[in-house]
C-alpha cells in the first residue's frame, strides 16, 4: 500500500553520479520531500555535494565538499585540509567522525563555524550572496553516507550514530533558516522507538556436548572462572553457587533425570514481549570462512528435530524463527537452501537471517537479497556494542532490491566477554543507558542479541537481561519481532510526497495489521529555533504532527 503525503515544499540534491544511490538512501533515513536537482526549477533549499549548478533558484544552498571548489575562489573562501585522525570535529555535544576528506572553511581570514559552534575546526561557514544564504561545509555528505552504509565504521567510533548526526545537522539548518518541510521520522505512533529482542541459538542443550571445546570451556568458566569473576566483582556469591551446582548436576542431566539447564528458549518467551530466534538449519556444518578454511568450532551440535517442541512453543506465542546462517553469506544457492529449510518449519513466506559469528562481506547483501530473505541482521560488532553502519535505522544495502538491513546494536558477548569489552554489570548498564538516550533522541530500532545459553550457567547474564528488558519497558518502546520491524520500516519507505494542492493534507490506506502507525512532522518555518529536539511537540507554533495510523488516523490540516 502506497501512502502519499501532499505538501508544497521541495528540497533538491545536486551530486555526482557515483553518489546518487547514497543520496537516495540518505533521504529514506531522513524521510522528507526531495528530488534530484533539475535546472530551471525553483526550490526551498538545494543540497550540493561536489558540484554546484550555476542557475540555482533557492533561498538556502548547502555546499558540501572537502576539496576547494571554484565557488570558494569566487567568494574568497580558504579551504584548509585537516588531519581528522588526531582530533574529531564536533557538532554540539557530539564528536563527528569523518571518513573521507575534511577541511576547515575560512571566510575573510576568520574561522566561523556555522553548524558546530565551539570546535577546533571551522568545518562550515555561512555567506550571503544577494538574497541567497550559502552554507559551505568541509566534507562530502553523501561520500560519508556511502562509506558508513557500505564499509561501516571502526570499533573505536562504535558509540557514535554518525548518520543520525548528519541528519540532525541538515534538519537543524533547514529549521533555523525557516525552510518549511514535512518529515516522516523513524518513530512509530504511540512509542519512542522500536526494540527487537533476538536470540542466536548456538547450543540449545549442554547434553549435546561431551569432551569437546564447548564442554571444557564451560567447566573452566563455571569453576575457576566464576571464582575469579567473584573476586573482580562481576559475579555474586549466589551466581558462583549456581555454577558449581550446575557442574555437579551434569551426570543427572546426561542420564535425563534433570532438565537440561541450557534449554532456555521457553524462558525467553516469559521474559520478552516479542522474540526472534535465529536457528542454524544444518547440524555439524562448520561452513567456509572467507579464506576457505572450515572451523570445526563453528558447527552446532543440535538439529531441528531436537528443537521441535521449543519451536512450536515460539510459534504459538507469535514469536519469529529466522535463519542463523552458515554459508548463506557467501553463496546464493546455499542461502536459498538455508532459507527453505527454516521456511518449511515455520510455513512463513517471509524469513530473515543473521549470520553465525556475524560472517559478512561486501557481496553478502546482494546474495541474501537474491536468495529471497526479508531482512538481514548481521551488520554489527563482535567486539563491542554500537552503530557499525552509523545509524539507528533499518536501511537497504546498496545493490539490493528488497532486502532491508536491521543493524545489530547490542550483543551480550560483546559486553561481557573478557576478550571484548569485559564490562561489569554496572558498566554494561551505563553503556546501554547511553544507547537508550540516543534512541530517545533519534528514534529508530534498537536491535538486541542475547544468546540462547546466556541466561543459564555458566554465563548467568539473566539478571542483567531482565533489568535491561525492564528499562526498555519504561522507555516507552514498541517491542516487536525483527520481521515486524522490517515491515514497519518498509511501510515508512513506501510513503511518498507530492505537490498537489496548496494546503497540506494526508491520504492513507489502513495500516497493516498489528503495526503501529507512522508520524508526519511538519516544520512550518514561521520562527527560528536553536534546537530541533526542543521543537518535537505539537504545542510549538512552528511544529505540528499528524499520525498516519489507519483506522486511528488523526486527519487534520497542518
Please report the pLDDT score of residue 208 as a whole number.
95
CATH number, position 439: 3.20.20.370
pLDDT for 124: 86
- Does residue 281 sit in the same domain as residue 397? yes
Q: Does any domain span residue 494? A: no
The pLDDT of residue 557: 23
Tell me whether residue 497 is in a domain: no
| HSE (side-chain half, CA atoms, 13 Å) at 34 | 25
User: What is the predicted pLDDT for the residue at 538?
Assistant: 35
- In which band, very low, low, confident or very high, does the pLDDT at 93 lie, cut at 50, 70 and 90? confident
Which of 488, 522, 539 is a domain's end point? 488
Instruction: Indicate if 55 and 77 belong to the same structural domain.
Output: yes
Does 135 lie in the same domain as 241? Answer: no
Is residue 495 one of the residues assigned to a domain?
no
- Cβ atoms of 186 and 492 closer than 8 Å: yes
Tell me, yes or no, whether 188 lies in a domain.
no
> What pLDDT score was predicted for residue 551?
27
pLDDT tens-digit series, residues 123-165: 888 999 988 999 999 999 999 999 999 999 999 999 999 999 9
Residue 545 scores a pLDDT above 70: no
Last residue of a domain, one of 488, 512, 534: 488
pLDDT tens readout for residues 395-427: 999 999 999 999 999 999 999 999 999 999 999
User: Does residue 7 register a pLDDT over 90?
Assistant: no
Claim to verify: residue 269 and residue 222 sit in the same structural domain = no
Q: Residues 22, 102: one domain?
A: yes
* Of the listed ranges 118-122, 134-138, 532-536, the one predicted with least confidence: 532-536
Confidence class for position 121, pLDDT limits 50, 70, 90: low
Domain contains 493: no
Half-sphere exposure of 44 (CA within 13 A, CB side): 21
Distance CA(489)–CA(494), nearest Å, equals 9
pLDDT of residue 355: 98
C-alpha cell at 186: 523513524
Q: pLDDT tens for residues 191-218?
A: 999 999 999 999 999 999 998 999 999 9
Q: Does the model's pTM come out above 0.75?
A: yes
Backbone angles phi, psi at 353, to 5 degrees: -145, 145
Residues with Cβ within 8 Å of residue 554, at least 6 apart in sequence: 546, 547
Domains held by the chain: number: 4
What is d(CA 471, CA 450) in angstroms, rounded to the nearest whole number? Answer: 16
- pLDDT at position 556, please? 27
pLDDT (average), residues 284-309: 90
Say what angle helices 162-176 and 425-442 make with each other, to 10 degrees.
40
Copy the grid coordinates of residue 48. Answer: 550540493
Average of per-residue pLDDT across 13-29: 96
Q: Are residues 293 and 234 located together in one domain of the fold?
A: no
State whether 451 and 537 are in the same domain. Answer: no
Which tens digits make up the pLDDT trace of 508-527? 434 566 899 999 999 977 54
Residue 193: in which H helix or E strand, if any? strand 193-201
* pLDDT value at residue 547: 59
Whole-number percent of the chain with pLDDT over 90:
75
CATH number at residue 26: 3.40.50
Is the same domain home to 323 and 312?
Answer: yes
Choice among 92-96, 127-131, 321-325 with the minimum mean pLDDT: 92-96
| Structural domain span for residue 254 | 209-260
Binned at pLDDT 50, 70 and 90, residue 455 comes out as: very high
Domain end among 260, 276, 297:
260
pLDDT band at 548 (very low <50, low <70, confident <90, very high): low
Shared domain check, 480 and 520: no
**396 — phi, psi (to 5°)?**
-100, 115
| Choice between 86 and 117, residue whose per-residue pLDDT is larger | 86
Q: Looking at beta carbons, which pairs linking 85-93 to residues 24 or more positions away fall under 8 Å?
A: 87/120, 89/116, 89/119, 89/120, 89/121, 89/123, 90/116, 90/117, 90/118, 90/119, 91/115, 91/116, 91/165, 91/168, 91/169, 92/116, 92/117
Q: Does the pLDDT of residue 537 top 70, yes or no?
A: no
- Residue 289's pLDDT is what? 84
Q: What is the pLDDT of residue 509?
A: 38
Stretch 353-379: mean pLDDT: 97
User: Does the pLDDT of residue 264 top 50, yes or no?
Assistant: yes
> What would the 3-class secondary structure string for 432-472 be?
HHHHHHHHHHHCCEEEEECCCCCCCCCCCCHHHHHHHHHHH
Asked if the structure places residue 496 within a domain, the reply is no
For residue 185, the model assigns a pLDDT of 96
Mean per-residue pLDDT of the chain: 88
Q: Looking at the domain assignment, is residue 388 inside a domain?
A: yes
For residue 467, pLDDT beyond 60 = yes
3-state helix, strand, coil in the chain (%, to 5): 35, 20, 45
- Mark whether 305 and 453 lie in a shared domain: yes
Indicate if the pLDDT at residue 444 is higher than 60.
yes
pLDDT-derived band at 3 (thresholds 50, 70, 90) equals very low
Least confident of 29-38, 92-101, 222-231, 527-536: 527-536
Poorest-confidence range of 78-92, 327-341, 444-458? 78-92
Tell me the H-state helices in 102-161. 141-150
Whether 267 and 341 share a structural domain: yes
Q: How confident is the model at residue 65 (pLDDT cuts 50, 70, 90)?
A: very high
Residue 525 lies in a domain: yes
Q: Quick check: bond before 458 cis, omega within 30?
A: yes
Does residue 240 sit in the same domain as residue 271?
A: no
Higher-scoring residue by pLDDT: 121, 449: 449
Amino acid at each position: 500500500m502506497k501512502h502519499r503525503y501532499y505538501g508544497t515544499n521541495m528540497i533538491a540534491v545536486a551530486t555526482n553520479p557515483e553518489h546518487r544511490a547514497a543520496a537516495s538512501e540518505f533521504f529514506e533515513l531522513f524521510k522528507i520531500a526531495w528530488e534530484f536537482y533539475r535546472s530551471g526549477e525553483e526550490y526551498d533549499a538545494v543540497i550540493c555535494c561536489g558540484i554546484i549548478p550555476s542557475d540555482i533558484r533557492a533561498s538556502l544552498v548547502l555546499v558540501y565538499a572537502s576539496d576547494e571548489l571554484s565557488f570558494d575562489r569566487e567568494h574568497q573562501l580558504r579551504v584548509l585540509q585537516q588531519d581528522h585522525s588526531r582530533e574529531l570535529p564536533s557538532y554540539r555535544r557530539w564528536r563527528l567522525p569523518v571518513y573521507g576528506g575534511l577541511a576547515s572553511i575560512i571566510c575573510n581570514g576568520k574561522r566561523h563555524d556555522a553548524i558546530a559552534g565551539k570546535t577546533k575546526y571551522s568545518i562550515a561557514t555561512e555567506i550571503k550572496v544577494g538574497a541567497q544564504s550559502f552554507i559551505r561545509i568541509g566534507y562530502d555528505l553523501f561520500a560519508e553516507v556511502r562509506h558508513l552504509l557500505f564499509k561501516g565504521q571502526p570499533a573505536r567510533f562504535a558509540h557514535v550514530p554518525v548518520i543520525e548526526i548528519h541528519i540532525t545537522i541538515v534538519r537543524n539548518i533547514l529549521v533555523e533558516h525557516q525552510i518549511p518541510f514535512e518529515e516522516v521520522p523513524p518513530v512509530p505512533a504511540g512509542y519512542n522507538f522500536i526494540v527487537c529482542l533476538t536470540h542466536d541459538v548456538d547450543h540449545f542443550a549442554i547434553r549435546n556436548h561431551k569432551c569437546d571445546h564447548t564442554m571444557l570451556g564451560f567447566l573452566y568458566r563455571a569453576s575457576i572462572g566464576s571464582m575469579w569473576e567473584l573476586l573482580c566483582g562481576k559475579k555474586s556469591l549466589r551466581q558462583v553457587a549456581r555454577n558449581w551446582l550446575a557442574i555437579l548436576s551434569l551426570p543427572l542431566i546426561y542420564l535425563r533425570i534433570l532438565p537440561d539447564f541450557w534449554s532456555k528458549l521457553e524462558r525467553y518467551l516469559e521474559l520478552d514481549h516479542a522474540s526472534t530466534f535465529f536457528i542454524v538449519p544444518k547440524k555439524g556444518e562448520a561452513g567456509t570462512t572467507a579464506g576457505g578454511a572450515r572451523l570445526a568450532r563453528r558447527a552446532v551440535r543440535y538439529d531441528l528435530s531436537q528443537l521441535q517442541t521449543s519451536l512450536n512453543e515460539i510459534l504459538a506465542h507469535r514469536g519469529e524463527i529466522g535463519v542463523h546462517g552458515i554459508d548463506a553469506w557467501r553463496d546464493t544457492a546455499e542461502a536459498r537452501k538455508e532459507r527453505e529449510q527454516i521456511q518449511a518449519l515455520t510455513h512463513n513466506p517471509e524469513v530473515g537471517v543473521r549470520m553465525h559469528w556475524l560472517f559478512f562481506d561486501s557481496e553478502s547483501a546482494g546474495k541474501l537479497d537474491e536468495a529471497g530473505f526479508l531482512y538481514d541482521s548481521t551488520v554489527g560488532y563482535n567486539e563491542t556494542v554500537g552503530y557499525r553502519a552509523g545509524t539507528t535505522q533499518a536501511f537497504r544495502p546498496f545493490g539490493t532490491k528488497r532486502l532491508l538491513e536491521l543493524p545489530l546494536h547490542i550483543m551480550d558477548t560483546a559486553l561481557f566477554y573478557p576478550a571484548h569489552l569485559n564490562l561489569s554489570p554496572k558498566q554494561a548498564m551505563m553503556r546501554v543507558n547511553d544507547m537508550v538516550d540516543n534512541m530517545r533522541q533519534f528514534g529508530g530500532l534498537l536491535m538486541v542479541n542475547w544468546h540462547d545459553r546466556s541466561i543459564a550457567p555458566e554465563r548467568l547474564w539473566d539478571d542483567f537481561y531482565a533489568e535491561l528488558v525492564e528499562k526498555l519497558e519504561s522507555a516507552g518502546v514498541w517491542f516487536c519481532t525483527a520481521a515486524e520491524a522490517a515491515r514497519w520500516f518498509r511501510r515508512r519507505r513506501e510513503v511518498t510526497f507530492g505537490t498537489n494542492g496548496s494546503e497540506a493534507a494526508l491520504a492513507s490506506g489502513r495500516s497493516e495489521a498489528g503495526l503501529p502507525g507512522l508520524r508526519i512532522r511538519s516544520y512550518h518555518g514561521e520562527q527560528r529555533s536553536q534546537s530541533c529536539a526542543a521543537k518535537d511537540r505539537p504545542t510549538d507554533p512552528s511544529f505540528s504532527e499528524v499520525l498516519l495510523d489507519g483506522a486511528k488516523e488523526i486527519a487534520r490540516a497542518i
